Amino acid sequence: MFNNNDDTKEDIVYDNSDTPDLESALDIEEKVENKISKIKKELKECQSSKQEYLDGWQRSKADFINFKKRSEDSKRELLQYASENIITEIIPTLDNFEQAMKNKDVWESVDENWRKGIEMIYVQLVEVLKRNGVTQIESLGEEFDPKIHESLETIEVENEKDNDKILEVTQKGYRMGDKVIRHPNVKVGKFK
């Protein structure tokens, strides 16, 4: 320390108790590096866990979306199946109307008002089927297709162009969308 009153120098004495020595500094540095290493390891584990949770969440979300689509498809199929069942039960009634109107002599002999009423009911039934995606399969004069038509009989024809052509429809067929819900019963020409 310096003494201001005296112009003499006194020895300066340092107190080393507050300053670390080299060994202590290395220990502190090692401890800091260990702590940093430990924090980095924990960070990597946290990032790994985060990624695992994110992946799991994304898989769950995708599974849910797929489940929702399958449920909607299943519901749509069920509704279509239910509609198809009702429609296939209505079609024979339509056949009966057509059968009744086919016999011209008897049909013409009934009261005209009654006949018009029956025709209106028939038209309403056909419209209900159309609104539900049901269409009649036009077969007369068409080429026979075993995937669509059901052949009841073959008729010998003299003209080669009538070979495998549908000459008569004994029962109409119907589609619902692209699906055949009742195959038409037909008679097919065969050239000899």
Alpha-carbon distance 136 to 146, whole Å?
A: 17
DSSP β-ladder status, 185-191 and 150-157? parallel
For residue 7, name the pLDDT band (cuts at 50, 70, 90).
Answer: low
* pLDDT value for 2: 45
Average pLDDT along the chain: 87
* pLDDT value for 1: 43
**CB 85: neighbour CB atoms within 10 A?**
11
Q: 150 or 11: whose pLDDT is higher?
A: 150
* pLDDT value for 79: 81
Helix axes of 22-102 and 112-131: crossing angle, nearest 10 degrees: 160
Alpha-carbon distance 134 to 182, whole Å?
A: 11
Mean pLDDT of 26-48: 92
The string of pLDDT tens digits covering residues 78-94 is 887 778 888 899 999 99
Homologous superfamily (CATH) for 135-192: Head domain of nucleotide exchange factor GrpE (2.30.22.10)
Q: 103 or 70: whose pLDDT is higher?
A: 70
CA of 82: how far to CAs of 71, 76, 137, in Å?
Answer: 16, 10, 21
User: Above pLDDT 70, what percent of the chain?
Assistant: 90
DSSP β-ladder status, 134-137 and 173-176? antiparallel
Asked if residue 166 lies in contact with residue 149, where contact means CB atoms within 8 angstroms, the answer is: yes
Residue 164 backbone zone (phi > 0: left; psi -120 to 50: alpha; other: beta): left
Flag whether pLDDT at 14 surpasses 70: no
* pLDDT value for 15: 52
Task: Locate 71 and state its tokens.
Answer: 């449920």
* pLDDT value for 12: 53
- Beta strands (DSSP E) in 123-172 are 134-137, 150-157, 166-171
The string of pLDDT tens digits covering residues 48-60 is 999 999 999 999 9
At a CB cut-off of 8 Å and minimum separation 6, what does 135 contact? 129, 174, 175
Q: 115 or 9: whose pLDDT is higher?
A: 115
For residue 192, name the pLDDT band (cuts at 50, 70, 90).
Answer: confident
User: Above pLDDT 90, what percent of the chain?
Assistant: 62
The string of pLDDT tens digits covering residues 111-170 is 999 999 999 999 999 999 999 889 999 999 999 999 999 999 999 999 889 999 999 999
Task: Locate 117 and state its tokens.
Answer: 């009423």
| Selection from 81, 121, 91 nearest residue 184 by Cα | 91
